Chains A and B, each alone.
Chain A
Amino acid sequence: MTVASSSTPRSTPPVAIAAPKAQRRTGTRVGDGRGDGALAAVFVAPAMTGFLVFLLWPTLRGVYLSFTKFNLLTPAKWTGFDNYIRMVNDPIFWDSLRVTVEYVVINIGVQTVVALLIAVLLQRLTQSVWLRSLVLTPYLVSNVVTGIVWLWVLDTQSGIGNEILGALGLGHIPFFNDQHWAIPTIALVNVWRNVGYTALLLFAGLQAIPGDVYEAGRVDGASEWRMFWRISLPLLRPVLAVVLIMTIIGSFQVFDTVAVTTFGGPADASNVLQYYIYGSAFGRFQFGYASAMSVALLVVLSAITVIQYRLTRAGETDLG
């Protein structure tokens, strides 16, 4: 009894917790020795089915298919490392990997900075849920809607974005139709959609920093600018690291926006990896080769996660 109550760091009277807790221990584990096996099987069965059939099995099968020649119509034929050898020698693959990395760097770079700015502004200016909702609105529309709307706003002929640039005397920019502009444009359009979500994640992290740290800073005469670098950013580091891992993984999977705006062009300038994979599978029916490239992407993502986790010591916190 005493052990049970002293190990629960709650402020309610110890007896109140100790009683049911002790009862649970004796009642279900040791006492009658009767588990809920049968009932649990029924309760877990649907989720387990979904997990095994639509998550575990496709993952294993995806790896298997990467070692085969498979066009959907005839059974998959084992070809060993052929797909991987072909991949390493495929200039389009390397090019699409380069384009994807370029996209991720711009997308994540800009998004993280803007999200941090929004999060800090929200934290230091107001607690308004209303304002937070406004910032989040673009996240509610699909990537497809986002792509189409910006395609129109940035249209070379009569898009309002180009009209404004023209009025400022900057001339018209063929955002989606130019080899050099296509990837930065897609990256920034996706920042528009996702930055609010990222900002709210960071905002939640900032909320965990106790207010008296800032009060102390202010008493010492520190400016907001200084407090950001000395208090907010260091204390936010663990949250920032997790958010970075999440957003980078998401960013590498870019597909929707490309599929509705540039179709990978012009001249493969925005042929991101996922778009190339889709084209290989559904355009050229090379499911084996497409699977091999998916495995490559999976390996890249896992490596990034591990490296970043180590570098940023994501699991640790300076709070507490």
Chain B
Amino acid sequence: MATTPLVTIRPIRIRRRPSLGRALAWAAMGGIVLVTLLPFYWILRTALSSNASLAAHPSTPLPTGFTGSAFARVFGAESTKAALAQGGAGGSIHFWRYLLNSVIVSTLITGCQVFFSAMAAYAFARLQWRGRDAVFKLFLTGLMVPTIFTLLPNFVLIKELGLVDTLLGIALPTMFMTPFAVFFLRQFFMNLPREVEEAALLDGAGKVRIFFRVLLPMAAAPIVTLSLLTYITAWNDYFWPLMVSYSGSSRVLTVALSIFRSQTPQTGTDWSGLMAATLVAALPMFVLFVSFARRIVNSISFSGIK
């Protein structure tokens, strides 16, 4: 960090004096951040309140009638009678089970999809075989079919395979690849210098070994990024699991939430319970985000434009 002014060619940053325009701009930014974040606070505030006091005090900033009962209700740890007394529907809701299902489905999709896509990306980027470019173009055209179009026929297929209402049935269609994942990793492999591979080849390593021992470790960063994006997408998916799952055994969090929302107890909607459930569904993604914020934020410029 020695100050050698001759070498610092970084664009000169003029520290602009605080002007009215800049103050207004910051105020606008502040307003945007506020609207972005306040609903999250409101989830927490409502989840920790009791339904009875919510109706009486709809706008107090702090939880009203502070209680953890909503979370107990969501995890099925409260007796039906107690749940009904608290304004719950009293039906059986077991978010531990749905949480576990979401984890299994998202992990299965992410692990397999990223690994298989990496294998294919390696073949497209580094191996020599006839028809390589044609096959890659075919994969790319897959990007043009909106996912939603394939859902109905895929449901028919999953039904024919006898996998309706199973976790495997939910995971299967995206377990092998997405055109984006293959494209994303191929792009990375293409830009890796060949020297290391050449050296390994000279040392007598086979191409399979090179893939596992040289390329995969070198691609750790983009693989982690891709895994994060895939995991978040899988976790938040609703339409497809809604089609495939019918019972608690294959119910993921998004579907469980929508079912919870449509059961209205006689006393009116169980808002504190719903918000507690919402928090349970969203929290794992927040934890992921806090741990990998920089990586996720920086990856977005890639996923969209290139």
- Listed in ascending order, the chain A residues whose CB lies under 8 Å from chain B are 20, 23-24, 28-29, 35-37, 39-41, 43-44, 46-51, 53-59, 61-62, 65, 72, 114, 117-118, 121-122, 124-125, 129-138, 140-145, 148-153, 155, 157-160, 163-164, 167, 192, 196-197, 200-201, 203-205, 207, 211-212, 215, 224, 239, 242-243, 246, 249, 253, 255-256, 259-260, 274, 277-278, 281-282, 287, 290-291, 294, 297-298, 301-302, 305
Are B122 and A62 within 8 A (Cβ)? no
Q: Mark B187-214, 1 if CB is under 8 A from A, else 0.
A: 0000000110010000000011001000
Within 8 A of A (CB), among B139-189: 139, 142, 144-150, 152-154, 156-157, 159, 172-177, 179, 182
Q: Of the candidates A124, A131, A134, A149, which one forms a contact with B25 in the assembled complex, judged by CB atoms under 8 Å apart?
A: A124
Q: Of the candidates A29, A51, A137, A150, which one forms a contact with B177 in the assembled complex, judged by CB atoms under 8 Å apart?
A: A51
Are A160 and B120 within 8 A (Cβ)? no
CA distance A246 to B296 in the complex (A): 19
- Listed in ascending order, the chain B residues whose CB lies under 8 Å from chain A are 11, 21-22, 25-26, 28-29, 32-33, 35-37, 39-40, 42-43, 46, 54-55, 58-59, 116-117, 119-120, 122-124, 127-130, 132, 135, 138-139, 142, 144-150, 152-154, 156-157, 159, 172-177, 179, 182, 194-195, 198, 207-208, 211, 232, 235-239, 242-243, 254, 257-258, 261, 268-269, 271, 274-275, 278, 281-282, 285-286, 288-289, 293-294, 296-298, 300-301, 304-305
CA distance A302 to B174 in the complex (A): 23
Are A133 and B305 within 8 A (Cβ)? no
Majority secondary structure, B binding face? helix
Are B153 and A145 within 8 A (Cβ)? no
Which residues of B are found within 8 Å of A125, using beta-carbon distances?
A: 22, 25-26, 29
Are B177 and A58 within 8 A (Cβ)? no
CA distance A65 to B33 in the complex (A): 47
Majority secondary structure, A binding face? helix
A-B pairs with beta carbons under 8 Å apart, 30 shown: A23-B198, A28-B128, A36-B207, A37-B130, A39-B207, A43-B123, A44-B120, A47-B120, A47-B177, A48-B135, A51-B177, A54-B157, A56-B142, A59-B153, A72-B159, A121-B32, A122-B29, A133-B293, A134-B37, A141-B236, A142-B238, A144-B281, A148-B257, A152-B46, A157-B268, A160-B58, A200-B300, A256-B239, A260-B261, A291-B153
Are B300 and A201 within 8 A (Cβ)? yes
Smallest beta-carbon distance A302→chain B, Å: 8
Smallest beta-carbon distance B240→chain A, Å: 11
